[in-house]
Amino acid sequence: MNQNKIFGNWINGKEVHSGSLPFSTYNPILDQPNSGDFIEATADEVSQALEYASKDFYEFSRLSGDRRGEFLDAIAYEIEALGDDLIQTYCNETGLPEGRARGERGRTLGQLKLFADEARSGSWQMPSIDLAIPDRSPLPKADIRKVMLPLGPVAVFGASNFPLAYSTAGGDTASALAVGCPVIVKSHPMHAGTSFMVASAIVNAVHRTKMPKGIFAHLNSRDHRIGQQLATHPMVKAIGFTGSEKGGRALFDLAAQRKEPIPVFAEMGSVNPVVVFPEKLEHENDQLVQELSDSIMLGTGQFCTSPGLIFGIEGALWKSFCAQMGSSLSQRATQSMIHPNLKYAFNQMKSEQLKHAGLKTLCSMSEVNGPNHVGQSLLQLKGVDFINNPHFQHEVFGPFAIMVSCKDWEELDLAISCLKGSLTGTIMATQESLSSHVSLIEKLQHRVGRVIFNQVPTGVEVCASMQHGGPYPASTDSRFTAVGNDALLRWVRPVSFQNFPQTLLPKALQTKNSLGLDQRIKSIKK
C-alpha cells in the first residue's frame, strides 16, 4: 500500500474524491497515526453511488447464478493477490497479531467462496409451486408460484473488530452480492486502509468478470454523516451493520422513521452468558479455568461472542473456581485494543459498572504492558444483586467478565429468565447434571441465538446451521443470521406469480426446472 497516497472513494468502478476532509488511521502499538490520507465521500458522491447502484440493480439481479458466483470467486482471488501488503496494513491499523490477520483473511475468502457456491446453486430462491386445479368447486384454483427476489441496493457498515470477515468484503457484502443486491460499503474509519485495499480488489473483480460497474461502491467515512445519509436515502433498501448497540440502534431508528422503512440487520452488543454446573467443576475445573480465561482474552475481548457473565451456584467448588479464574486472568499479559477510542470506551464502561453496588474484584490489572493496552477485569456479584440491577447486563466491550454467584438453582433460573437477548448462551455441565435441569435449556434458548454445550462461545463457525443473531439487543432482527449460508436470506423477499405462461416465469419457477432447483410442489385438496 502506497502510504503517501491520497485515498479516494470507489464509485462506479473508479476511484474518485471531491471532498476536502482528509483523515488517517492509527497504529495502536506504535501509538501514532499511520501515514496516508483518506478523503471522506461528499453527500453528492453518496447520492451518485446510489444512483449507479439502483440503475445497475436490474441488470445485476438478472445475471445467472453462475455469473455472480464467478464474480465472488474473483473477489476472493483479488483479495488473495493483495498478499502480505494487506496483512501488514491490517496489523498496522488494528495492532492485532499477524496470525489473526491471516486467519481472518482465510475465513473471509472461505465466506466469499461459500456464497459463490450459494449463488451458483440458486437454492436461496426457494421456488414453491401450487399447480392449478381448473375443475375445483366452487371456484377453480389458479396456478400460483412463489420465488425469492433481491431487495435492491444494500448499505454495509464495516465492524471495528473484524476488518476483513465482517467488513468490506465480509459476510454482509458477500451474501448480498450472491443474491443480486448491489452493495455500498461505508468504510470503518479505524481501518480505512484495509478497507480501501479490499474495495480495490472488489473493483478489480467487477472489471475482470464484466459486472455492471454500479453494483459496488466504497465510501470513506470519518464520522456519522455518511451513515446517516445512507440510512435515510430512499434508494437504500436494506442495511447490514456490525458494531455497538448505540450505533446499531441509531441506524435502526433512522430506518424505522423513513417514509418507507427498511430492514436493518444490526448485530450489536451481547454479554453471552455462561452457566457453570457444580458437577462440571468436580471433574474439569482446571480445564475450564484455562478455556474460559482464553475465551475472555481472545482478541483482547473484542469479540461479539466474548463471555461477559458467568453464572454458578454458591459453594466450595464455585468459590475456588472464581478465585482460580481471577488468578488465571491476573497472570496473563495485558493486550492492546484496536484503537485508542476502544481503549477509552472500555475504561469508561468498566468504571460505569464499578459504580454499582455489589461487585467484588477477582482480577483488575492496573499496570499495562503497552500504550493502548487495557487491564483485563473479572468481578464477582451475588445473584440477587444481578437480578435487581439491569445495569450489570450492559456489555463492556473488551476483556471484562462478571462471575454471578447464585445461592441456589431457583435464583439461577430467575437470573437466566431476566437476561436481555444475547448472541450465545453456554452451558458447562456434565450430560447427566444437565439432564436433571432441562428447563434451563428452555429458558436459555428463548434468550439467545445459539445455545452451546461445553464449548466456549468465541469462534463462530461459518456453516448452514449457524445462527449468529439473537433477541434484542444482540441484534435488531433475531429472525435472521449474520453468519453462515442463511445470511443471504436477509436480502430477499418472496414474490408470487399467478396464472403466468411458462416462458414468462422466472427460470426458478418454470416446470422444466432448467436450474435443477429443489422446487416445493403442492397440490391442494379440492
Q: Give the distance, in angstroms, between the CA of residue 473 and the centroid of all CA atoms in the same chain.
A: 13
Biggest alpha carbon distance in the chain? 82
> Would you count residue 441 as binding a copy of itself (CB under 8 A)?
yes
Taking residues 451 to 490 in sequence order and writing x for each that binds a copy of itself by CB under 8 A, - otherwise, the string is: xxxxx---x-x-xxxxx---xxx--xxxx-x----x----
Cβ-based nearer residue to a copy of itself, 83 or 99? 99
Cβ-based nearer residue to a copy of itself, 15 or 80? 80
Provide the minimum distance between the beta carbon of 294 and a copy of itself in the complex, in angstroms, as a whole number.
13
The cell numbers describing 304, all together, are 461479539
Closest listed residue to residue 160, CA positions, set 319, 343, 317: 343
Contacts of 390 (CB under 8 A, 6+ apart): 418, 420
Q: Is the peptide bond before 140 cis (omega within 30 degrees of 0)?
A: no
Contacts of 14 (CB under 8 A, 6+ apart): 203
DSSP 145: E
Give the strand pairing for 14-16 and 154-157.
unpaired
Which helix (H) or strand (E) segment holds residue 99: the answer is helix 98-121
Provide the minimum distance between the beta carbon of 241 and a copy of itself in the complex, in angstroms, as a whole number.
14
> Would you count residue 316 as binding a copy of itself (CB under 8 A)?
no
Contacting a copy of itself (CB under 8 A), which of 289, 421, 515, 517? Answer: 421
Provide the minimum distance between the beta carbon of 500 and a copy of itself in the complex, in angstroms, as a whole number.
5
> Would you count residue 446 as binding a copy of itself (CB under 8 A)?
yes
> Would you count residue 260 as binding a copy of itself (CB under 8 A)?
yes
Amino acid at 53: A
Cβ-based nearer residue to a copy of itself, 144 or 345? 144
Active site residue 267: yes
> What is the footprint of a copy of itself within residues 61-90 (CB under 8 A)?
62
The CA distance from 78 to 298, in Å, is: 29
Q: Which string of DSSP letters, residue by residue, matches 393-447? A: GS--SSSEEEEEEESSHHHHHHHHHTPPPEEEEEEE--HHHHHTTHHHHHHHHTT
DSSP 133: B
Applying CB under 8 A, which part among 75-83, 375-383, 407-415, 491-499 lies near a copy of itself? 491-499
Alpha helices in 180-277 (DSSP H): 192-208, 225-232, 245-257
Active site residue 59: no
Number of H helices, E strands in the chain: 15, 25
> Would you count residue 511 as binding a copy of itself (CB under 8 A)?
no
Instruction: Give 275's strand partners.
Output: 311, 427
> What is the footprint of a copy of itself within residues 7-66 (CB under 8 A)?
58, 62
Q: How many residues in the shown chain lie near a copy of itself by CB under 8 A? A: 69
One of 91, 181, 304, 406 is an active-site residue; which one?
304
Contacting a copy of itself (CB under 8 A), which of 135, 501, 516, 526? Answer: 501
Query: Would you mind telling me the total number of residues written for the chain in this entry?
Result: 526
Provide the minimum distance between the beta carbon of 139 and a copy of itself in the complex, in angstroms, as a whole number.
8
Contacting a copy of itself (CB under 8 A), which of 228, 369, 436, 496? Answer: 496
Amino acid at 387: I
Applying CB under 8 A, which part among 163-171, 190-198, 254-262, 379-387 lies near a copy of itself? 254-262
> What is the footprint of a copy of itself within residues 127-146 (CB under 8 A)?
128-130, 139, 141-142, 144-146
Amino acid at 269: G
Provide the minimum distance between the beta carbon of 488 and a copy of itself in the complex, in angstroms, as a whole number.
12
Question: Which positions are catalytic?
Answer: 267, 304
Query: Where along the sequence are the contacts to a copy of itself (CB under 8 A)?
Result: 58, 62, 128-130, 139, 141-142, 144-146, 149, 152, 252-253, 256-257, 260-261, 263, 420-421, 431, 434-435, 438, 441-442, 445-446, 448-455, 459, 461, 463-467, 471-473, 476-479, 481, 486, 492-501, 503-504, 520, 522, 524
